Amino acid sequence: MKQVALIVFLSHIGSYVPADAATVGLTDRIFCAMGSKFMTAEQSTFMIDLHQVGIMLRHASPRSLCLMDEFGKGTLTEDGIGLLGGTINHFVSCYDPPKVLVCTHLTEIFDNSCLLESDRIKCYTMSVLSRDKDCADVEDIVFLYRLVPGRALLSYGLHCAQLAGLPHEVLTRAALILDTIKNDNQMERLVSEDIIAQDQQYKHAVEKLLGFDAQKGDLLHFFEEIFASQS
């Protein structure tokens, strides 16, 4: 998204752009809503995005370039879809709209007629090469970094996490949670050797506590046994 804005700006000052050839229309303003973080601003990232989009909606002309990166992600999914859908529909309904480029992971926006049916809306995604539909392992997919027409069917979030080096147990649990949400199943309790050993320690402590004579027992000796069993 930033590269698009930079290329348009560079072309307007007569500079070279990173391409063999480029056709860039005359642009009077570049509006951006990219979740920029201002350390001195007493506002959340979402509120900053709202202000940026508000300026965009009020002042964009037919020759403007409007860029929105993940607008709506800073709130509830339903609210984000509504705000993003309303913004896109506003531009679509304009008699002579600006050029608008939107990047989002809110794929639900394409459901339930959230967007107006219009030839002005064009969908593109980054192509991915996969061995099978399941794509169970990161080695099963190859990110081609090529923009092609169409919509993304999967986000490949777990694969990106695996490439980033997240621990195997975290990825395993994440896959279980994802499967539970998709299939509306009941979440299973996370069980590992450490958790089983910890449960045994708790069970032993409870048994000691139930068998302790509060009137005649040695409290100091009781605590020594409890902490000794946990070490």
Within a 13 Å sphere around the CA of 223, how many CA atoms are in the beta-carbon half?
A: 2
Q: What is the pLDDT of residues 80-121, one digit of tens each?
A: 999 999 999 999 999 999 999 999 989 889 887 889 999 999
Q: Grade residue 28 by pLDDT with cuts at 50, 70 and 90.
A: very high
Q: What is the pLDDT of residue 27?
A: 96
Instruction: Name which of 115, 113, 63 is nearest 93 in CA terms.
Output: 115
Q: What is the pLDDT of residue 194?
A: 74
SS3 126: strand
DSSP letter, residue 213? -
Q: What is the pLDDT of residues 155-171, one digit of tens each?
A: 888 888 888 999 988 88
Q: CA 149, CA 129: separation in Å to the nearest integer?
A: 15
Mean pLDDT of the chain: 85
Q: What is the pLDDT of residue 34?
A: 85
Output the pTM of the full model: 0.74
Residue 66's Cβ-count burial label (10 Å; 0-12, 13-18, 19+) is buried
Is the domain defined by 1-121 classed in CATH 3.40.50.300? yes
Structure tokens at 220: 């100091």
Q: CA 121, CA 123: separation in Å to the nearest integer?
A: 7
Q: What is the pLDDT of residues 34-56, one digit of tens each?
A: 876 665 667 788 888 999 999 99
For residue 137, pLDDT beyond 90: no
For the chain, the structural domain boundaries read: 1-121, 193-230
Q: Grade residue 133 by pLDDT with cuts at 50, 70 and 90.
A: low
Q: What is the pLDDT of residue 185?
A: 78
How far CA 65 is from CA of 22, 56, 90, 200, in Å, comes to 16, 9, 15, 63
Average pLDDT, integer, range 189-206 = 76
Q: CA 92, CA 79: separation in Å to the nearest integer?
A: 20
